[in-house]
Amino acid sequence: MKKEDLMKKAIELSVENVAAGGGPFGAVIADKEGNIISYGTNRVTASCDPTAHAEMRAIREAAAKLKTFDLSGYDIYSSCEPCPMCMGAIYWAHLDRLFYANTKDDAKKIGFDDSFIYDELKLKLPDRKLQSEQIMRKEALKAFEEWIDKDNKIRY
């Protein structure tokens, strides 16, 4: 499939998902030949899972299907510019390219406003709305020390 066909599928998923009671978002992961590996739709309210965004679900399905956490060599097509959580997951999954249709400003206009997260991330921890307190760092460093010394670790 061509990239326009893959985006058309992501958009179709978003429209179908609205009719099914979900959010207006769809995503497709494909290989370089245009074969669809996985897809996802926004099922946050249906699954009572705030992380059940279209991109997250597509990434989880692709990783499970391919039996790898490294999705290098694959592209993601999203009906909308991904939120900060999904962008983080796209980077962590090592997807090669992101194609998107609607923008984050388009999403903001219909009530899906992630700008507060982008704004918060620019702030120093004490200035953020989410109160954060570091505790027990010394004890937590034990796992990091064991990780660094581990010979057979799998890097990701």
- 111-121, pLDDT tens digit by residue? 999 999 999 99
Burial class (CB in 10 A: 0-12, 13-18, 19+), 112: middle
pLDDT tier for residue 110 given thresholds of 50, 70 and 90: very high
Q: What is the pLDDT of residue 55?
A: 98
Catalytically active residues, by annotation? 55
Q: What is the mean pLDDT of residues 26-54?
A: 97
**Shortest CA distance to 80 belongs to which of 93, 62, 98, 94?**
98
Give percent of the chain above pLDDT 70.
100
d(CA 37, CA 32): 11
Q: What is the pLDDT of residue 139?
A: 98
pLDDT tier for residue 155 given thresholds of 50, 70 and 90: confident
- Which DSSP string do the residues of the chain spell out, in sequence order? --HHHHHHHHHHHHHHHHHTTS-S-EEEEEETT--EEEEEE--HHHHT-TT--HHHHHHHHHHHHHT-S--TTEEEEEEEPPPHHHHHHHHHHT-SEEEEEE-HHHHHHTT---HHHHHHHHS-GGGSSS------HHHHHHHHHHHHH-TT----
pTM of full prediction above 0.85: yes
Q: What is the pLDDT of residue 156?
A: 85
**Shortest CA distance to 71 belongs to which of 103, 42, 48, 97?**
97
Q: What is the pLDDT of residue 120?
A: 95
Q: What is the pLDDT of residue 78?
A: 98
Q: What is the mean pLDDT of residues 92-110?
A: 97
What is the CB neighbour count within 10 angstroms for residue 147?
9
Q: What is the pLDDT of residue 24?
A: 98
Q: By the 8 A CB rule, do 56 and 40 touch? A: yes
d(CA 38, CA 17): 16
